[in-house]
Structure formats: structure tokens, C-alpha cells
């Protein structure tokens, strides 16, 4: 089954070639071939990418901070290392972007907030060190919802990022800049973070591949915390192969993160096998029923179509039931906001971050810095988190939510006894218009209905493109796996991709 | 809920060290009541039979924590001061400077 060539959105200016490749071909694997055959140098490639950013970003708004000079310096260094045979990674020389909540030593890290407008981290996040060790070239830090709180990148203090498929629509969030940059060819790949869907949501709206690893697979050291028991860093890429390559580089134990798993992880490129025969795929009835999810027909049809594709390829598809899915939004928000209110208590205007110019005493220094430094949505979430943790409400909300979390985890476990992976939608609709949902917080929270379950249960989950709707906007298919079984969802994703999107068969 | 919510918002703002003006208090009173009413939906989920030990250990990715998970208490490299102290008065004195707390 093949999909029609996607209609490029109004904004994508794709007569541009980078390293002789069209934007759709701008993958790690393709570039790696050109670099190793010396058909292009790392500095040339980096310069091409920086030129493209210069040309497009005032319109797209992906980057908060482009580090042109440093990128060119590092490009030179990496080329020299390649020439001396000192580096042998598939990511060497490949330009990428990082979500601006990932700490980069000496490079401003704002978290999309006024609170950290002049914050320059004194250290690199673990994942940044790993990527640098692999010869990655950082082009800059990309836009996000403030403190990762949002599903559309509209709460960013700095700028609006638009969806490269339609300039009037959101790119999704909170890793909107990360996904839009990859979709528009302003970065070959990027890292985002996902707490309730923040990698998968924008990947789905922008037509990219996005993966949230199992909780504990990737170190959170250096990730500015939102909700510590949900946050995970993950890749946003053009295709599944690139996703596996990046995941290989960033996964693995880090002694600086006590929640990072000591388990050995497999080589994820070994999962890139075109075969799903006998694979048992579960579809939760609670995802697909019209029970107030707000799921659009085009999204439902795309998921059902994916089921047909998998069946044709020899997989078994069964319906499963996970009743607790109905309660996912309140469950997620009660726990995440409680953790967020605690994590954001550190922003007090004293040691780093925004300090109000107007204070008479310590109390005012703290209160005013926080009130002037944080945006509306952040304040709302802090207050809600404070509420569910406060005396008199703690048992009723927070403790109950923690117990509910266990119910969901147990139900997922039971479902995974009947199937190997679970599929479903990523978002209820395709990209909506900028401004459409931002004034109704509850409406925005409902965007997480399909993605938050994997965060609550700590499961690996991916979004891969599976079609477009009547407006030519991308639709994402979600694949959820057992804990630490990224390999199976990668295999299913790779197989699906191989059989559906012709233009992406890039070896 | 409605009547007492404004007081509640003021109380929460105090706990969270946030300063809200009257307009913000008005808006938040409405928004937060709505959201909390929505959170109440979770009460319908049956959570009987879940033990405290189960949900408290959820983050023990590598099994129960023990002493061997802790790093050795030895002096190691730390950060350069200039990286941590960014304001000029901080750099001069080597301290974070805040208004006095004691009279």
C-alpha cells in the first residue's frame, strides 16, 4: 500500500539543495555517505545549513539562538578528526539542533522563558556530551513552550514557531522548534523532550519521526526539569533509521542520573528489519471509541489504514482494553503539575535567572522575580500543582493519582501479555490554527489524551508519519512498546515506513 | 467551590511565592475551578488494592536503592566561580547577595 506524494505546504521552499540533496533526502545516512566519500566537507555542509536557517528562520521561528561561529569551528575540528581517522560515528559531522531546555555549557539555555533569558549553564547535559563525542555539530537551540508546559509552542516567551506545512498553524509542542526545524531542513535531526507528549505531538504535526524512550533509558542530567517522573529526552528525525542512530548515541546509564537504567541497551540499528510477520499488535478500544477524545475522522481513518497495512504485511492485530485510559488527562496533570510546582520552586531570583529590579525585602525579591519571570501558563500550573499537594487536598488528589498511576501500569502490563506493541493515534486532530486553543487551558490539556499514557507508565513510544488529511497536513501513528523494548517499535515503524512512504527509502 | 476559590487562589499564591494582581486573581479563580472540577473525574477510577509500596517504588529503575548507589564522599572537581557568579557584585565578593533577613 503506497501513499500519494505529500503535497508540500505553502511555506516549504524546497528548490533549495543542501549538499546536493533535496530537503526530503536530508538524512543522517545520506549525508554520512557523502561525507565519507569526501563529496562534501563538514564545514561546507554546516555552512549550507546555517545559510538555510538565515534564509528561512525569520519566517519559521524555530531557533531561539543560532551559534554560527561555534558551529563552523566545531565543523572544522570534526573534519580534521575525520581526516585523521580519529572519529568513527555515523553522527560525525551531522548538524543538529537541541531543544532549549537541554543545558549546553557556555551557550544560553532559556527554556523558552523570560526567567532564564540570561542563563548560561556551567555544564553540558549528558546527552550533549554524548553527541559531541560522536562528532555532532550543534547549530543552535530551538524554540519550545515555556518550561515545556504546552502542546503548541505558543507559550514561548520568545517567539511563535510556525508549522512548516502551513504558516497559520501550530507546529505542536512543547518541542515545536525541534520538529519544525527538522521538517523544514533547518537541522538534520534534533533532540526534544517529552513529559506528556512533547516529542510525539510536534513530530506528528510536522510529519517527522519522534521517539520518547522508556523512562530511564536516556539520562535526564542537564535537562531542565518539568516533571521528574515523566521527563525523557528523545530524537526527532526525518526517518526511522536516523531515529535509531541518534538513540544509539544518547541511550545508556549515566551515574549522574539516579533514575537512569544500568541495563545494557541493544544496538538499535539492528532493529531496522523489514518484517512484522507474526507481530501481535494491540489497539486499545479506549483510543478508538468516539468517547469524547475529540478524534477527527481523518486521524481515525489513518490509524485504521495503518492496521490494514500491518495486516497485509503479516502482523496480527487485536483489540485490547485499557479502561484506565479514560482517566489519563486528570491522572497526568495532577502528578505532573505537583512535580512541576516543586521543580520550579528553585527559581527564586537569587542564584540564577531573572531577578526583579523592584524589591524591598527577600520576600518581595522572590515573589516578584517569580511573577515577572514566569508566563501565565507556568503560573497556572504551579498553582494547580501547589493545590494538589497542599494540606487537606494531598490525599484526595495527589495520593489518589499516584495509586491510579499503578492501575494504568498494571493494565498496560496485562495488555502486553496479549500483544507485543500497541498502536493508536498521537493527537486527536492534525495541526490546528495558531491561537485556536491557547485561551482554553483545559482544551489544550486534552491534546495529551493519547500521548500521556506512555509517560505515566514509563513506556517507549514513537510517532511516525502515516498520511495526510484533506488539508494536506501530516498525521502521526503512535507505536507504544514494552519497557526497554524500543527495538520492537522501531522494527514495526521501519517496516511500515518502508512500505508506505516511497520518498523516504534512503538506505 | 466558587465562593471560596478566590481565597484559595490567594492562599496557593502565598505558598507558591507568586504575586498576583486583581485581574489575574479573577481570571485564575475561574480557570482553576474549572480545571479542578475536571480533575475530580479521577475519583471515579477504582484504586482499591493498590499498596503504598507499589507506587512509591516506581522510580527505582535499578531496583531498591542501597548505599552502593551513592557516590563516594570524596573531593572532586567543581565549577569555576565565574561560571556560577554572574553579577558584578557577586564576582567581587564571592557571594550571592540578597536583602537582609534578620532585623
pLDDT tens digits, residue range A205-264? 999 999 999 999 999 999 999 999 999 999 999 999 999 999 999 999 999 999 999 999
Exactly one of A190, A198, A261, A369 is catalytic; name it. Answer: A198
Asked whether residue A1 is domain-assigned, the answer is no
Asked whether residue A328 is domain-assigned, the answer is no
* Per-residue pLDDT at A5: 35
Alpha-carbon gap, residue A306 to A478, rounded angstroms: 10
A95-99 and A189-194 as β-strands: parallel, antiparallel, unpaired?
parallel
Asked whether residue A447 is domain-assigned, the answer is yes
* Per-residue pLDDT at B59: 76
* Per-residue pLDDT at B2: 53
**Residue of B16, B41, B69 lying closest to A382 (CB–CB):** B16
- The residue-averaged pLDDT of B11-38 equals 95
Asked if B31 lies within 8 A of A333 by C-beta distance, the reply is no
In angstroms, the Cα distances linking A356 to A177, A370, B17, B97 are: 28, 8, 14, 14
Q: Which residues 48-87 on chain B approach chain A with CB closer than 8 angstroms?
A: 50, 54-56, 58-59, 61-62, 65, 69, 71, 79-80, 83-84, 86
pLDDT > 90? residue B100: no
Residue at grid coordinates 507558591: B16
Segments in chain A below pLDDT 50? 1-13, 502-507
* Per-residue pLDDT at A10: 34
Alpha-carbon gap, residue B38 to A397, rounded angstroms: 12
Exactly one of A41, A89, A99, A178 is catalytic; name it. Answer: A99
* Per-residue pLDDT at A292: 67
What length is written for chain B?
A: 103
* Per-residue pLDDT at A2: 25
The predicted-structure confidence for A256-307, as pLDDT tens digits, reads as follows: 999 999 999 999 999 999 999 999 999 999 999 866 688 999 999 999 999 9
Asked whether residue A500 is domain-assigned, the answer is yes
Count CA atoms within 13 Å of residue A132 on its CB side: 13
What residues pair up with A232 in beta bridges, in sequence order? A194
- Backbone φ and ψ of A132, nearest 5°: -60, -40
**Residue of A122, A260, A359 lying closest to B84 (CB–CB):** A122
> Within an 8 Å CB–CB cutoff, is residue A356 touching chain B?
no
* Per-residue pLDDT at B51: 85
In angstroms, the Cα distances linking A196 to A29, A232, A250, A458 are: 30, 10, 20, 11
Alpha-carbon gap, residue B23 to B19, rounded angstroms: 12
Number of domains in chain A: 1
* Per-residue pLDDT at A228: 96
Q: Which residues 226-255 on chain A approach chain B with CB closer than 8 angstroms?
A: 229, 255
Asked whether residue A351 is domain-assigned, the answer is no
For the record, the C-alpha cell of A208 comes out as 517527522
* Per-residue pLDDT at A186: 96
Asked whether residue A90 is domain-assigned, the answer is yes
pLDDT > 50? residue B82: yes
* Per-residue pLDDT at A450: 97
Q: What is the CATH number of the domain that holds A208?
A: 3.90.1300.10
Domain that holds residue A33: 23-285+415-504
Asked whether residue A322 is domain-assigned, the answer is no
Exactly one of A113, A152, A156, A174 is catalytic; name it. Answer: A174
* Per-residue pLDDT at A31: 97
> Within an 8 Å CB–CB cutoff, is residue B28 touching chain A?
yes
Alpha-carbon gap, residue A439 to A442, rounded angstroms: 9
Q: A34 CA to chain B: closest CA distance, Å?
A: 39
Asked whether residue A334 is domain-assigned, the answer is no
Count Cβ–Cβ pairs < 8 Å, chain A vs chain B: 134
Question: How many CB atoms within 10 Å of residue B91?
Answer: 13
Instruction: For chain A, state the CA radius of gyration.
Output: 21
Active-site residue, A505 included:
no
Say which DSSP state A447 is in: G
Find the DSSP H helices in A84-175. Answer: 126-133
Amino acid at each position: 500500500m503506497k501513499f500519494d506524494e505529500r503535497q508540500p505546504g505553502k511555506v516549504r521552499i524546497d528548490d533549495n539543495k543542501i549538499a546536493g540533496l533535496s530537503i526530503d533526502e536530508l538524512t543522517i545516512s545520506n549525508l554520512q555517505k557523502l561525507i565519507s566519500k569526501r563529496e562534501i566537507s563538514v564545514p561546507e555542509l554546516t555552512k549550507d545549513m546555517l545559510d538555510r536557517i538565515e534564509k528561512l528562520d525569520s519566517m519559521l521561528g524555530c531557533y531561539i539562538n543560532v551559534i554560527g561561529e561555534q558551529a563552523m569551528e566545531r565543523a572544522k575540528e570534526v573534519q580534521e578528526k575525520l581526516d585523521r581517522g580519529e572519529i568513527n560515528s555515523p553522527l560525525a559531522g551531522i548538524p543538529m539542533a537541541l531543544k532549549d531546555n537541554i543545558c549546553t555549557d557556555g551557550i544560553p539555555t532559556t527554556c523558552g522563558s523570560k526567567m532564564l533569558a540570561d542563563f548560561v549553564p556551567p555544564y553540558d547535559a549528558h546527552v550533549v556530551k554524548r553527541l559531541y563525542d560522536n562528532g555532532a555539530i550543534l547549530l543552535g537551540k530551538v524554540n519550545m513552550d515555556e518550561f515545556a508546559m504546552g502542546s503548541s509552542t505558543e507559550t514561548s516567551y520568545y517567539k511563535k514557531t510556525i508549522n512548516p506545512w502551513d504558516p497559520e498553524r501550530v507546529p505542536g509542542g512543547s518541542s515545536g522548534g525541534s520538529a519544525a526545524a527538522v521538517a523544514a531542513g533547518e537541522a538534520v535531526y534534533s533532540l526534544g523532550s517529552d513529559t506528556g507528549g512533547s516529542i510525539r505531538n510536534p513530530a506528528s504535526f510536522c510529519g517527522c519521526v519522534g521517539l520518547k524512550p522508556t523512562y530511564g533509558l536516556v539520562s535526564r542530567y542537564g535537562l531542565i526539569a518539568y516533571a521528574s517522573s515523566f521527563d525523557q529526552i528523545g530524537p526527532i528525525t526525518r526517518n526511522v533509521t536516523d531515529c535509531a542512530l541518534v538513540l544509539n548515541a544518547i541511550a545508556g546509564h549515566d551515574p549522574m542520573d539516579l533514575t537512569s537504567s544500568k541495563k545494557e541497551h541493544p544496538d538499535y540499528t539492528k532493529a531496522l528489519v523489514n518484517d512484522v510477520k507474526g507481530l501481535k499488535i494491540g489497539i486499545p478500544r479506549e483510543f478508538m471509541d468516539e468517547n469524547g477524545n475529540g478524534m477527527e475522522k481523518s486521524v481515525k481513518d489513518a490509524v485504521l489504514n495503518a492496521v490494514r497495512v500491518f495486516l497485509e504485511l503479516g502482523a496480527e492485530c487485536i483489540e485490547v482494553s485499557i479502561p484506565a485510559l479514560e482517566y489519563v488527562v486528570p491522572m497526568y496533570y495532577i502528578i505532573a503539575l505537583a512535580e512541576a510546582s516543586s521543580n520550579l520552586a528553585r527559581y527564586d531570583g537569587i542564584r540564577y535567572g531573572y531577578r526583579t529590579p523592584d524589591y524591598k525585602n527577600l520576600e518581595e525579591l522572590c515573589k516578584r522575580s517569580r511573577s515577572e519571570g514566569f508566563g501565565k501558563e507556568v503560573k497556572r500550573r504551579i498553582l494547580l500543582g501547589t493545590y494538589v499537594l497542599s494540606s487537606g487536598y494531598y490525599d484526595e488528589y495527589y495520593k489518589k493519582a499516584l495509586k491510579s498511576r499503578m492501575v494504568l501500569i498494571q493494565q498496560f502490563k496485562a495488555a502486553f501479555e496479549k500483544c507485543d506493541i500497541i498502536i493508536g493515534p498521537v493527537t486527536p486532530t492534525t495541526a490546528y490554527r495558531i491561537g485556536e486553543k491557547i485561551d482554553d487551558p483545559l482544551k489544550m490539556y486534552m491534546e495529551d489524551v493519547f500521548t500521556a499514557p506512555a509517560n505515566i507508565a514509563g513506556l517507549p513510544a514513537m510517532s511516525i508519519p502515516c498520511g495526510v488529511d484533506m488539508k494536506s497536513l501530516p498525521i502521526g501513528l503512535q507505536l507504544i512498546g514494552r519497557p526497554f523494548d524500543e527495538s520492537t517499535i522501531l522494527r514495526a515503524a521501519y517496516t511500515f515506513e518502508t512500505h508506505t512512504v516511497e520518498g523516504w527509502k534512503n538506505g | 467551590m466558587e465562593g471560596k476559590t478566590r481565597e484559595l487562589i490567594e492562599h496557593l499564591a502565598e505558598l507558591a511565592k507568586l504575586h498576583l494582581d486583581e485581574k489575574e486573581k479573577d481570571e485564575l479563580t475561574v480557570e482553576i475551578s474549572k480545571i479542578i472540577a475536571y480533575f475530580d473525574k479521577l475519583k471515579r477510577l477504582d484504586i482499591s488494592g493498590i499498596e503504598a509500596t507499589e507506587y512509591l517504588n516506581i522510580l527505582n529503575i535499578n531496583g531498591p536503592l542501597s548505599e552502593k548507589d551513592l557516590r563516594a564522599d570524596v573531593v572532586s572537581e567543581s565549577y569555576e566561580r565565574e561560571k556560577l557568579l554572574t553579577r558584578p557584585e557577586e564576582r567581587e565578593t564571592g557571594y550571592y547577595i540578597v536583602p537582609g533577613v534578620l532585623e
